[in-house]
Amino acid sequence: MRAILLVAGAVFRESVRDRVPYSMVLFAVLLMAASYLISQMTAGQDLKIIKDLGLASIAVFGLLIAVFIGIGLVSKEVERKSVYALLSKPISRPQFILGKFLGLVLTLVVNIGAMTAAFYAVLLYMNIVNPNLQIAAPAPSLDPRLLIAIGLILAELMVVTAVALFFSTFSSPLLATVLTLGLWVAGHFNADLRNFESVIDNPAAAWIALVAYYALPNLAPFDVKAEVVHGVPVTLRHVGLTLTYAVLYTGVLLTAAIAVFRRRDFK
Amino acid sequence: MAAIETENLTKDYLVGFWRRKPYRALDSLTLTVESGEVFGFLGPNGAGKSTTLKLLMQLIYPSSGSARILGKPVGDVEVRRRIGFLAENPYYYDYLTAEEVLTYFARLFGLPAADVARRVSSILDDVGIGAERRMKLRSFSKGMLQRVGLAQALINDPEIVFLDEPMSGLDPLGRRHVRDVILRLRARGATVFFSSHILSDAETLCSRVGIMAQGRMVASGRVSEMVAFDLKGWELTVSKVSDGLRDALEPRVQAIHSLTHGRYTIQIGADHKPEELMTELAARGASVESLNPLRDTLEDYFVKQIAAANPRETARL
Amino acid sequence: MTAGRIAPSNGLLYLAMAALLVLAVVAQAVRDRGWQPYEPPSDVMWIQSGPLADRLALSFDNLTADLYWMRVVVYYGGQRRSAVAARNYDQLFPLLDLVTSLDPQFRIAYRFGSIFLAEPPPGGPGRVDQAIQLLEKGLERDPKRWEYALDIGFVYYWWVGDYAKAAEWFRRAGDIPGAAEWLAPLAAVTLAEGGNRESSRRLWTELRDRGDLDWIKRTASHRLQQLDAMDAIDELNHSTQRFAARHGRPPADWRELAAAERWRGIPLDPSAEPFVLDPQTGRVGLSPKSGLWPLPDGSSVRARP
């Protein structure tokens, strides 16, 4: 357990000294500030646009952090051979993988936290400058329900991190990036697979679509941004089951990563 | 209980993209290293030395055969508390400082928190890293990285130390330093297993050596047993030799090299008696500064063994 | 890849993976039972303008058109899957407009797009005007495509019931070089006899045999079966009239008529449901329980408004 925490700490420390997360957070904050300016130009849609853009920034930049750091987690160490020194210490290969994962999740929590703080700062500013805006809106400016959306984004990113980690245990950084992003896209179209049923009618294709729907990560239910912005309630049941799914699916991916990493030859 | 034991350790790779052919990197290595020995693992590139070290560290898995360290199968996590490993051309984390890297590793060993700082500090002193210890590894030269490498291999005061080409790429000062570390380890009673090209050091440091070629161990044993005691000849260093004397000597000796004006080294075969030459030199007014016997070096032995294993290979050397 | 190795066995891990995946699937299934993806009231389509999308897609127009076409299919399918009250086809025309702006040659988008648009509620938005608009756009871009003219004629024929316009479009279609030979006679028949069953049959057969989307094929087969049922009803009405003429009253039930006409069983419609016989009037009709119900209005082929 101690070994896992030590590796996690090392990952976090590396991310703190890495330029990538800072750039991402900076871009997100800039975008949120810009959204305030943009909102001045669209009559009556101000609050919606700020919220939409803010949530989208958090989702996109969070994704970039998860993918780009996640890919490097293992492949960089193996490429540069620092893994030789590490694995000759009293740490098992599974502990190594779990430590890397935990470290990146911690990094994400901190970075997303920073972006969320900036987000609420912009909303607060909006609220102070123009408090009448939220009267006509379906949800208040400083809506705590935004946190639900952000929480689910974080859970989604946890799954993406596990995907990135899994691919990085055996493929090159470039291939792993492509595969992870591809799986993320597929994960968002996954829910649409169910809608194909009523238009396409080939039984074999329908069966394949069903298997794909369950086997591939289903990421669309993590996206409650539209509901939250329009003030539509998100049930506890939905959040709870989706989080459960996230934890279980992440478990599958981490187990797979450990299985691959355990048997690997480091030439 | 032997420190290190292997039994028919074999590693095959599949080489090529389409028609994959098996390539035997290590062929049935059976080897025992006792506690307290300094074992030199020698051989040209591609002989299987790194492969063996990686198998012992369980960085790769064997195709067949087995290996044990301190009586436990290789890969036992607890045993790793008692060993140290230095890889060839090591890289650590260039965004960390030397202190931070060693602290990280020290904590992995489970050293109590209070001791960690002290141990890190003293090991850095031991390997000769001073104020640079607070600089990021990014800015370290190869020699300094090697020292950090040694430090991380020794920080847990290991019973066995594994070193893969510890002196490669170092300047003479660096190499001397590594030698000293190994000697200190030997004095302390630790077991040292190191691979190297640099045979002259192996000669002086090792109690036993093993010579690898093309994946097989072609020879092993005590250094003294392997190097013939047969005398090859003598080498004299003389001064105050006049030109006339030198011209007279030249046809009678194996070789004569000029050092500075009047100073020469003279080589004679084993069949000559050096005393006769020395008397003659003294009679002619020259002065003998030193007399050294010339024997087969480990390098000569090495080349002979490799040639026997692969005649074509040595023809190219 | 290496040749056989002595490495730790991952058996337990694979077992754990399978178990966790099963649990994940269960969690998903339980959650999905109460969840539909949320489609906000007026979904803001960020890129409304065709030319803008064209520029944004850089040189990947056709690919982008394909992606948007998939979006059309998913959107349409998704709406049809939702509860009737919640269905909203507002985005259908804008999406189709976008697809055809990105790729003006995208035949399927025009043809099936118009079918989706014309389909009356609750199966579709029932926007014949948009359907015609889409097809006219296609024809304008590519005047050699007689199929678009045929489709416009079809919309007038089947959905609007304007036979004069339908005939005019069939004629125009027939005038385009390379068009099918039966278009000119079809135009003539349509003009002469209005909603003639034969022309309808011909049109639906054409759709069924096109073979692109199974859904279209099914709809066409369904319509053809309805036409068959209508033919059968006509025949049966003749039989009941014969019976009435002979016995002075309509048959009381099918068995009476079957005995009189020496049939082996009672008549079934193409969906294997018995027809309905009104003993008062002797008129035969389709059973409301039939899969083909409701028929497009008796013997005159006219769609519901």
Q: Is A224 on the interface with C (CB under 8 A)?
A: yes
Partner residue opposite A6 with nearest CB, options B91, B104, B152: B104
Strands B287-295 and B264-269: unpaired
**Interface predicted TM-score (ipTM) of this complex, two decimals:** 0.85
The model's pLDDT over C13-24, given as tens digits with 9 standing for 90+, comes to 999 999 999 999
Average pLDDT of chain C, as a whole number: 79
List, as ranges, residues 79-118 from C with C-beta within 8 Å of A: 80-81
Q: Could you tell me which chain A residue has the CA closest to the CA of C213? A: A200
Q: Which residues of A touch C16 (CB under 8 A)?
A: 251, 255
Please count the residue pairs, one from chain A and one from chain B, whose beta carbons lie less than 8 angstroms apart: 68
Partner residue opposite B14 with nearest CB, options C3, C6, C7: C3
The model's pLDDT over C95-120, given as tens digits with 9 standing for 90+, comes to 898 888 888 888 888 888 888 888 88
Q: Is A266 on the interface with C (CB under 8 A)?
A: no
Q: Is A199 on the interface with C (CB under 8 A)?
A: yes
Domain topology for B231-295: Alpha-Beta Plaits (3.30.70)
Q: Are residues C182 and C59 in the same domain?
A: yes
Rounded CA gap, A25 and A117, in Å?
A: 11
Q: Do C218 and A201 touch (CB under 8 A)?
A: yes
Task: Count up the domains in chain C and report the number.
Answer: 2
Please name which of A181, A194, A256, A182 lies closest in space to residue A221, comparing C-alpha atoms: A194
Domain-terminating residue out of C164, C190, C216: C190
pLDDT of residue A15: 86
pLDDT of residue B314: 47
Q: Is A197 on the interface with C (CB under 8 A)?
A: yes
Average pLDDT of chain A, as a whole number: 85
Report the pLDDT averaged over residues B131-156: 90
pTM metric for this prediction: 0.70
Q: Which residues of B touch A76 (CB under 8 A)?
A: none
Residue to substitute from B9, B10, B12, B77, interface C, most C β-carbons within 10 A: B12
Q: Is B229 on the interface with A (CB under 8 A)?
A: no
Q: Residue C10 domain-assigned?
A: no
- Identify the top-confidence range among A163-177, A247-261, B172-186, C26-40: A247-261
pLDDT of residue A46: 66
Q: Is B23 on the interface with A (CB under 8 A)?
A: no
Q: Which residues of B touch C3 (CB under 8 A)?
A: 12-14, 22, 63
Please count the residue pairs, one from chain A and one from chain C, whose beta carbons lie less than 8 angstroms apart: 96
Partner residue opposite B92 with nearest CB, options A3, A85, A267: A85
pLDDT tier for residue A200 given thresholds of 50, 70 and 90: low
Q: Which residues of C touch B22 (CB under 8 A)?
A: 3
For the sheet with B216-222, list strands across it.
Answer: B83-86, B160-164, B191-196, B38-42, B208-213, B216-222
**DSSP states of chain C:** --SS------HHHHHHHHHHHHHHHHHHHHHHTT------TT---S---HHHHHHHTTT-HHHHHHHHHHHHHHHHHHHHHS-GGG---TTHHHHHHHHHHH-TT-HHHHHHHHHHHHSPTTTS---HHHHHHHHHHHHHH-TT-HHHHHHHHHIIIIII--HHHHHHHHHHHHHSTT--TTHHHHHHHHHHHSS-HHHHHHHHHHHHHH-S-HHHHHHHHHHHHHHHHHHHHHHHHHHHHHHHHHHSS--SSHHHHHHHHT-SS--B-TTS-B-EE-TTT--EE--TTSTTPSPSSTTS-----
| Whether the predicted pLDDT of B70 surpasses 90 | yes
DSSP state letter for B140: -
pLDDT tier for residue C210 given thresholds of 50, 70 and 90: low
Q: Do A224 and C38 touch (CB under 8 A)?
A: yes
Instruction: Please report how many Cα atoms fall inside a 13 Å half-sphere around the Cα of residue B153, on the Cβ side.
Output: 30
Q: Please give the share of chain C, as a percent, with pLDDT higher than 70.
A: 82
Rounded CA gap, A20 and A2, in Å?
A: 28
Report the pLDDT averaged over residues A126-135: 73
pLDDT of residue A4: 93
Domain of residue C116, residue span: 50-190
* CA-based nearest distance B80→chain A, Å: 5
* CA-based nearest distance B64→chain C, Å: 6
* CA-based nearest distance A227→chain C, Å: 7
Please name which of B90, C182, C50 lies closest in space to residue A85, comparing C-alpha atoms: B90
pLDDT of residue B317: 40
* CA-based nearest distance C168→chain A, Å: 32
Q: Could you tell me which chain B residue has the CA closest to the CA of C7? A: B61
Partner residue opposite A266 with nearest CB, options B59, B78, B81: B59
Residue to substitute from C1, C2, C6, C21, interface A, most A β-carbons within 10 A: C21
Q: Could you tell me which chain C residue has the CA closest to the CA of B67? A: C6
* CA-based nearest distance C21→chain A, Å: 6
Q: Do B95 and A265 touch (CB under 8 A)?
A: no
Q: Which residues of C touch A191 (CB under 8 A)?
A: 37
Q: Are residues C184 and C243 in the same domain?
A: no
Q: Are residues C62 and C181 in the same domain?
A: yes
Domain-terminating residue out of C162, C190, C218: C190
Q: Do C35 and A252 touch (CB under 8 A)?
A: no
Query: In the CATH scheme, what architecture does the domain B4-226 have?
Result: 3-Layer(aba) Sandwich (3.40)
Q: Please give the share of chain B, as a percent, with pLDDT higher than 70.
A: 96
Q: Could you tell me which chain A residue has the CA closest to the CA of B154? A: A89
| Whether the predicted pLDDT of C2 surpasses 80 | no
Domain limits, chain A: 2-262
C38 Cβ neighbours under 8 A, 6+ residues apart:
A224, A226, A227, A232
The residue assigned the tokens 């006409």 is: C261
* CA-based nearest distance C151→chain B, Å: 54
Rounded CA gap, C82 and B297, in Å?
A: 88
Q: Is B64 on the interface with C (CB under 8 A)?
A: yes
The model's pLDDT over B214-227, given as tens digits with 9 standing for 90+, comes to 888 888 888 777 76
The model's pLDDT over A60-90, given as tens digits with 9 standing for 90+, comes to 999 999 998 888 888 888 888 888 999 999 9
* CA-based nearest distance C303→chain A, Å: 23
Rounded CA gap, C139 and B119, in Å?
A: 84
Domain-terminating residue out of C136, C160, C190: C190
Q: Do A220 and C37 touch (CB under 8 A)?
A: yes
The model's pLDDT over B185-217, given as tens digits with 9 standing for 90+, comes to 999 999 999 998 777 777 788 889 998 888 888
Contacting subunits of A (3+ beta carbon pairs below 8 A): B, C
pLDDT of residue C190: 72
Q: Are residues C186 and C199 in the same domain?
A: no
Average pLDDT of chain B, as a whole number: 86
Q: Do A226 and C76 touch (CB under 8 A)?
A: no
Partner residue opposite C81 with nearest CB, options A195, A245, A251: A195
Q: Residue C125 domain-assigned?
A: yes
Q: Is A18 on the interface with B (CB under 8 A)?
A: yes
Q: In this structure, how many other beta carbons lie within 10 angstroms of the beta carbon of residue B202?
A: 23
pLDDT tier for residue B311 given thresholds of 50, 70 and 90: low
Rounded CA gap, A27 and A114, in Å?
A: 12
Q: Is A267 on the interface with B (CB under 8 A)?
A: yes
Q: Could you tell me which chain B residue has the CA closest to the CA of C1? A: B14
* CA-based nearest distance B56→chain A, Å: 10
Residue type, C180: A
Q: Are residues C57 and C167 in the same domain?
A: yes
* CA-based nearest distance B211→chain C, Å: 25
Q: Do A255 and C13 touch (CB under 8 A)?
A: yes
* CA-based nearest distance C8→chain A, Å: 6
| Whether the predicted pLDDT of B103 surpasses 90 | yes
Q: Are residues C118 and C217 in the same domain?
A: no
Rounded CA gap, A93 and C99, in Å?
A: 51
* CA-based nearest distance A18→chain C, Å: 33
Rounded CA gap, A193 and A180, in Å?
A: 19
pLDDT of residue C1: 45
Two structure tokens written together for C72: 């059309």
List, as ranges, residues 184-223 from C with C-beta within 8 Å of A: 213-215, 218
Q: Is C25 on the interface with A (CB under 8 A)?
A: yes
Domain limits, chain B: 4-226, 231-295
Helix (H, G, I), strand (E, B) or coil at B186: helix
Helix ranges (H only) for A130-224 are 133-136, 146-168, 173-189, 192-196, 203-215
